[in-house]
Every structure is written in C-alpha cells, then in structure tokens.
Amino acid sequence: MNRVAGSLIRLYPAAWRKRYGAEFEAMLDEVPQGWFAVFDLFKGAIRMQLSVPSFPKLALMLSTVGLVVGFGVSYMVTPRYVSIAVMSYHGEHSDRRALLEGLQAMEADVLSRTSLSNMIQRPRLKLFPDDMARKPIEDVIEEMRKSIRITMANSGGPAFSISFVYPDPLKAQATMQALVTRFEDENLATQSQSKRTGGSEELQLIAQLESRIAALEQHAGIAASQEPGPVLTYIRSANANTLEVLDPPSLPVNPIYPNRGVIAAIGFIAGFVLAIIIAIFRRRFHPAAPLPASLA
C-alpha cells in the first residue's frame, strides 16, 4: 500500500514535490496506509493540479476528458444507415421533358399515402415501430417521406438515384428494394394503360390522317417536318419508355451518422476551450495563484 501511495506523489505538481516531496514520503512511511488514505492522496493530487496555474497540464487534462466524453456520447446516439439504388428511365422516342413528367408521376404514386402506409406496415419490414406505437400514422408517413431522396444524375442523363435512411442496415436495404419494385410496378401499369389508350380506333385514325397529310405535302413539294406528328409520337413512345435498375439497393456497412471521430474531436476542442476560459479566469481574479497556505 505504501508503494501505491508513493506512486501517487508523482501526480502532484513538480514545484510542490521539489519542496515537500521528501518530507511527505517520510510521513507516509510512519503512518499506516489504507485505501481511504490512497483515495485522499489521489483527490489531493487532482486538486493541486487544478490549483497550480499550469495551462499545458490543464489543457491536456480537459481535452482528454472531452475526447473520452465525446466518444461515449457518440455511442449513445442512434446510428443512421443509407441504402442507395440507381435506376434509368429512358425512351427511344421520348424527349427529356416527357421523361421527367413520367418520372414525377411515378414518384407521386410511389410516395403516396397508401403506398407508404402499406410499406410501413408490411410484416417483413415493420418500419418505425416506436413511432407507430406513439404517433399517428400520418406523422410516420411524413417521417418516411423525409427519409427518402430521389436525385437526378448530374450529367442530365436518364439515370436517377433513390436513397433511404434508417437505423437498421438490413431494413434499409429491404425497404429500398420495395421502393424499386414499386417504381417498376408503376412503370408497367403506365405502359399497360398506354397500350390500351394508344390502340384506340380514334387515335389510330388520327395517326393515319397525319401520315396521309405528310405524304401529300411531300408530293406537292412542301417542306414537311421530319418529325412525326404529335399523335404518332405519343403512340410510338407509349410503350417505349424503359425503367432499368443500374445498381441494385446497397447494403450499408458504416453509418452515415453519427461520425464518432467528429464528435470526439468536438469534445477534445471543447475541453481545450474550457481550459483557455479557466486560464483567463485565473489570471483575472487570481493572478498569483500561489500554493495553498496549508502546504506552504
């Protein structure tokens, strides 16, 4: 026990050890030591370190404490994982505006209340269980909408990405797969409806008239447009738009939040700033900051 107590003397400030170290060690040899006395020695060492105007030691101590606290807080925060899928929506005879309108229509159906409500309550997914137990379904649906992001490609091409953020990486991927399937179902439904509409007798008759007018203009030597009429364009593009999965839903490995390194660094910086504030306070109100009178 005396050996432990002797080791604790090294925690005291160097100036104090130089002046009182030998005397203090001699006193420890004569007095029986116990764990309570060892605790008092440790507490006295911390108090002495804080009472001595030594900024480097204080900054190191508080910064280390902030670093440890930051790491601890980062493990108390619920992590967030993101699953991403990349898809392409293109058509042989469709312009970009028509494709964007078609994609926006599919997006509205996929993110509708009915669609998301069914997805949230699927037995295989069971998303947001805590929120479902204490919030109305409308709030949970809105929270899911905020967790979904659809972004067009920067190049302006037909590719777009879908992402979904959730605390469980496996459920994030499974939900992302369900969203991709919903887009595919909506595209198939649109194509099926377009086939029925595009095959009506009225539209076919108008298309035939457009073809005859174009032939008469060409026979008369009138400069006709090389582009097909609007009805022909609609019929050609009704079934030509293709929705393709370029990258399937990813299985996230590392969370996007929290960034434990950043939180620990914030704790470290906060400890250092606190040391600066304490140092300024000492200089303003205790410029001399002498050793305690009981040890002088």
Handedness of CA 42, 43, 46, 52 (dihedral sign): negative
How many structural domains is the chain composed of? 3
Considering 14-23, 47-56, 69-78, the range whose residues carry the highest mean pLDDT is 69-78
Query: Using CA atoms, how far apart are residues 202 and 208, in angstroms rounded to an integer?
Result: 10
Omega of the bond leading into 53 within 30 degrees of 0 (cis):
no
Regarding whether 186 and 104 lie in a shared domain, the answer is yes
Considering 84-98, 118-132, 155-169, 185-199, the range whose residues carry the highest mean pLDDT is 118-132
pTM for this entry: 0.58
Regarding whether 128 and 73 lie in a shared domain, the answer is no
Regarding whether 191 and 125 lie in a shared domain, the answer is yes
Query: Using CA atoms, how far apart are residues 175 and 163, in angstroms rounded to an integer?
Result: 10
Regarding whether 1 and 69 lie in a shared domain, the answer is no
Judge whether 215 lies within some domain.
no
Judge whether 185 lies within some domain.
yes
Is residue 29 pLDDT above 80, yes or no?
no
Judge whether 205 lies within some domain.
no
Question: Domain range spanning residue 4?
Answer: 1-52
Is residue 82 pLDDT above 90, yes or no?
yes
Per-residue pLDDT of 222-273, as tens digits, reads: 544 445 455 444 444 444 578 889 999 999 998 888 888 888 899 999 988 8
Per-residue pLDDT of 108-164, as tens digits, reads: 999 999 999 999 999 889 999 999 999 999 999 999 999 999 988 766 567 899 999
Regarding whether 149 and 274 lie in a shared domain, the answer is no
Regarding whether 73 and 184 lie in a shared domain, the answer is no
Regarding whether 37 and 117 lie in a shared domain, the answer is no
Considering 99-103, 155-159, 165-169, the range whose residues carry the highest mean pLDDT is 165-169
Considering 48-62, 65-79, 232-246, the range whose residues carry the highest mean pLDDT is 65-79
Query: In this structure, are residues 152 and 160 in contact, taking their beta carbons and an 8 Å threshold?
Result: yes
Regarding whether 135 and 15 lie in a shared domain, the answer is no
Regarding whether 110 and 153 lie in a shared domain, the answer is yes
Average pLDDT taken over every residue of the chain: 76
Regarding whether 65 and 2 lie in a shared domain, the answer is no
Regarding whether 188 and 138 lie in a shared domain, the answer is yes
Judge whether 195 lies within some domain.
yes
- pLDDT at residue number 234: 46
Judge whether 295 lies within some domain.
no
CA dihedral 111, 114, 117, 118 (to 10 degrees): -110
- pLDDT at residue number 144: 94
Judge whether 224 lies within some domain.
no
- pLDDT at residue number 200: 54
Judge whether 155 lies within some domain.
yes
- Mean pLDDT along residues 180-188: 90
Judge whether 65 lies within some domain.
yes
Structure token digits, residue 246: 């370029």
Regarding whether 162 and 120 lie in a shared domain, the answer is yes
- pLDDT at residue number 167: 93
